[in-house]
Amino acid sequence: MTMPEHACFRPLNPITIVDLRPDLSFVIPAFNEEENLRNTLLDVADEAVRLNKTYEIIVVDDGSSDRTYEQAIALSRDLPVVAVRLSRNFGKEQAMSAGLSRTRGNAVVILDADLQEPISTLGQMIERFEQGYDVVYAVRAHRDDESALKRVLTGGFYKLLCLGSECDIPPDARDYRIMDRKVVDALLALPERNKFMKGLFSWVGFKSCAVPIELRPRQAGTTKFGLRRLFRLALTGLTSFSTWPLRIWTVIGFFIAVLSMLFSFWIVLKTLVWGVDVPGFATITAAICFLGGLQLLSIGVIGEYLSRVFSEVKQRPGYIVSEELSSAGRG
């Protein structure tokens, strides 16, 4: 029996697939940036139009106590903005993750809300990106604006971080960067909660290139990264990207054990040859204090790692979204 012709499956109408993805998704983490947000978003929009790119802007309000979120909503009436409000301040790393998870663009640009990185450099970065790099990131051309102490600390931190680390984290890299969709997807697939984005950016790999930029002073407001916050971030970086602080105690312990053995031999020999020598208070006190300090330090280091393991094991989400509104064509 032959099948009637109308029973065959044929496409009825040719379906045109329209790519609704914008060329660029901008991710802007903002914590108390009410004074900067308007100028930043308008500049970003102007630049995207000038570069002839379709775009969306994802503003992540990281628990601001000012009107940052309301500003983003107001701007979303004229610009394709997705405004995301986190339920409290989770830190820039988490705010960036929240932003990245909302992007739909073929490429993603991460940008600070204070426009310290001039948006006029975007064209140059896109040029390199279009030459075939998957990631183009900005590096500071110099650190002349920073105090000598901060420069020394930062330099030392990156040296420590890269000691025995499997990836090379560029020391002067900013978070300001353009990434291909596949890089963003790789970043979003990482399950860890203690995020040190500069490390993760380099860990995922891909073909990268750096573009030096001159930082401008902040438009308004003050830096949100005080010494305490930087120190916390540095600890997260160290504990999530290197294990040498844990392992080094084996080496230190070994050397101290060898030294103690030699010293014990010497004391026994001295006692046998010259008899009992009672003084030695200073040596004993110094040894007890030194070893006690060293033990506390090593326990502290283990504690740092343990606290990260603890927070990973609990599996709490890295951030919680309290509100979200979009005018970027997704309802």
Complex with ligand UDP: residue 235 or 287, whichever CB lies closer = 235
Question: Is residue 71 near ligand UDP by the rule CB under 6 A?
Answer: no
Asked if 94 contacts 86 with a C-beta cutoff of 8 angstroms, the reply is yes
Complex with ligand UDP: residue 193 or 224, whichever CB lies closer = 224
Identity (one letter) of the amino acid at 301?
V
Among the listed residues 87, 120, 223, 285, the single contact to ligand UDP using CB under 6 A: 223
Complex with ligand UDP: residue 113 or 213, whichever CB lies closer = 113
| Phi and psi at residue 179, to the nearest 5° | -130, 145
| Phi and psi at residue 148, to the nearest 5° | -60, -40
Question: Is residue 114 near Mg ion by the rule CB under 5 A?
Answer: yes
Among the listed residues 95, 161, 211, 233, the single contact to ligand UDP using CB under 6 A: 95
Complex with Mg ion: residue 150 or 182, whichever CB lies closer = 150
Name the nearest CA neighbour of 186 among 206, 172, 171, 162. Answer: 206
Q: How far is the CB of 167 from ligand UDP (least distance, A)?
A: 22
Residue 31 touches which member of Mg ion, ligand UDP, none, C-beta under 5-8 Å by kind:
ligand UDP
Complex with Mg ion: residue 112 or 134, whichever CB lies closer = 112
Q: Compute the distance between CA of residue 27 and CA of residue 163 in angstroms, rounded to an integer.
A: 31
Asked if 94 contacts 166 with a C-beta cutoff of 8 angstroms, the reply is no
| Phi and psi at residue 227, to the nearest 5° | -60, -40
Complex with Mg ion: residue 37 or 328, whichever CB lies closer = 37
Beta strands 135-140 and 107-110 are: unpaired
Cβ neighbourhood burial of 72 (10 Å; 0-12, 13-18, 19+):
buried
Question: Is residue 40 near Mg ion by the rule CB under 5 A?
Answer: no
Asked if 125 contacts 138 with a C-beta cutoff of 8 angstroms, the reply is yes
Residue 105 touches which member of ligand UDP, Mg ion, none, C-beta under 5-8 Å by kind:
none
Among the listed residues 32, 97, 116, 202, the single contact to Mg ion using CB under 5 A: 116
Question: Is residue 85 near ligand UDP by the rule CB under 6 A?
Answer: no
Number of residues interacting with ligand UDP: please give it, by CB under 6 A.
16
Q: Two tokens at 36? A: 């900067």
Complex with ligand UDP: residue 100 or 134, whichever CB lies closer = 100
Q: Compute the distance between CA of residue 84 and CA of residue 287 in angstroms, rounded to an integer.
A: 56
Q: Compute the distance between CA of residue 180 and CA of residue 133 in angstroms, rounded to an integer.
A: 8
Binding segment for ligand UDP (CB under 6 A), chosen from 88-96, 158-166, 257-265, 282-290, is 88-96
The residues that touch ligand UDP, with contacts defined as CB under 6 A, are: 29-31, 33, 62, 89, 91-92, 95, 112-114, 116, 223-225
The residues that touch Mg ion, with contacts defined as CB under 5 A, are: 112, 114, 116
